[in-house]
Amino acid sequence: MPTSTENRGPAWLAAAALLATLTGCSKAVVLNPAGDIAAQQGDLVVTATLLMLIIIVPVILLTLLFAWKYRQSNTEAEYDPEWHHSTALELVIWSVPLIIIIALGALTWISTHKLDPYRPLDRISETKPLDPNVQPLEVQVVSMDWKWLFLYPEQGIATVNEFAAPVDRPIRFKLTATSTMAAFYVPDLAGMIYAMPGMETQLNAVINKEGTFKGMNSHYSGAGFSGMTFKFHGLSNEGFDAWVQQAKTEGKVLDRASYLDLVKPSERHPVTRFSSVQDGLYNRVLNMCVEEGKMCMHHMMAIDAAGGAAYMKKVGLNLPDDVCSVENADRVVALLDQRDSQGAVAQQ
């Protein structure tokens, strides 16, 4: 059935106006972040885009020019069906893109090394050098289903779905996960980095402005993905000390038992603070051995590196085929600790 197109024009105008208003809702965080690492990454995006526009803009303009000049109604346009080659035109067509590709390659190579997330910071901001006497703030991050756990080994506290850091102090993140891989991302701070079970990734960054910034899991990780967000507070030194003291006063203890309760899947978990953290908890999470009696991965890898079952028999510890069982885990760990201590004494 024919439909009327009488109101199609106004409808398109209204849609365009609505789109224009929506663009005003975004702060373009990637291009205007509050942290130096994210700012350098934003500058890289702008520089790469401008380099590519050197080709894109002339091609678009020439396409419009050729379409206008050689239109059917223009009988004065030169027509040469025998034309097939121009050395000057070939040089322009191939040399300019080649130069741009070389420039992009060099820029990418330099930036990849300079902005390596594992690389310690060499400055606080473009105008502020790094103080060699300032130690980075270490934050241990654990991705759970579907929440974030932040541990502060220096301060002895932990939080869920909230973390804070002083302005202009380097931050060194160590990240792992409990089950599903997640992507840790604070757009104002730095680029995203993965957190994976049984592995540790690192990220070095700094925040240069006070404020509250959004953090998230930028990759889908299951049913509770949409609520896997947190708040990052950039604070003054005094404000950070007060935030830590508040956690110590109001929080509860994070030990192995409370961790095993916390690690159970939950959606949109409220902000929670812990006044103290059991020693070695993060390492147990990383090595997937928080449960009582479970052998840690680094102990298992040490057995494999020493020769596996053959090594265990050699040292006189006859175990069943399943050397990971709860019943013999303590014996194996004690044996490995004894071997390590004897090796340390021998080196002295």
pLDDT in tens, 309-336: 666 666 666 555 544 555 566 666 666 6
Nearest Cα to 221, choosing from 283, 281, 188, 267?
267
Give the Cα separation of 226 and 268 in Å (integer): 9
What's the pLDDT at 2?
47
Give the Cα separation of 173 and 153 in Å (integer): 11
Q: Which of the given ranges, 71-75, 184-188, 311-315, has the highest pLDDT on average?
A: 184-188
Least trusted range by pLDDT, from 75-79, 94-98, 189-193: 75-79
Amino acid at 40: Q
Sheet with strand 201-205: strands edge to edge: 201-205, 171-177, 137-144, 147-152, 157-160, 272-277, 252-254
> What is the distance, to the nearest Å, from the Cα of residue 291 to the centroid of all Cα atoms in its chain?
28
- Strand 123-125 versus strand 147-152 pairing type: unpaired
DSSP secondary structure, 76-114, as one string: TS---TT----HHHHHHHHHHHHHHHHHHHHHHHHHHHH
pTM value? 0.78
**What mean pLDDT is predicted for residues 266-279?**
94
Name the residue with tokens 């757009």. 187
**Interhelix angle for 36-69 vs 87-114, to 10°?**
170
Q: What pLDDT band is residue 79 in, cutting at 50, 70 and 90?
A: confident
- Cβ neighbourhood burial of 237 (10 Å; 0-12, 13-18, 19+): exposed
| Structure tokens given for 179 | 């089950």
What's the pLDDT at 152?
97
**What mean pLDDT is predicted for residues 136-147?**
96
pLDDT in tens, 296-307: 887 777 777 766
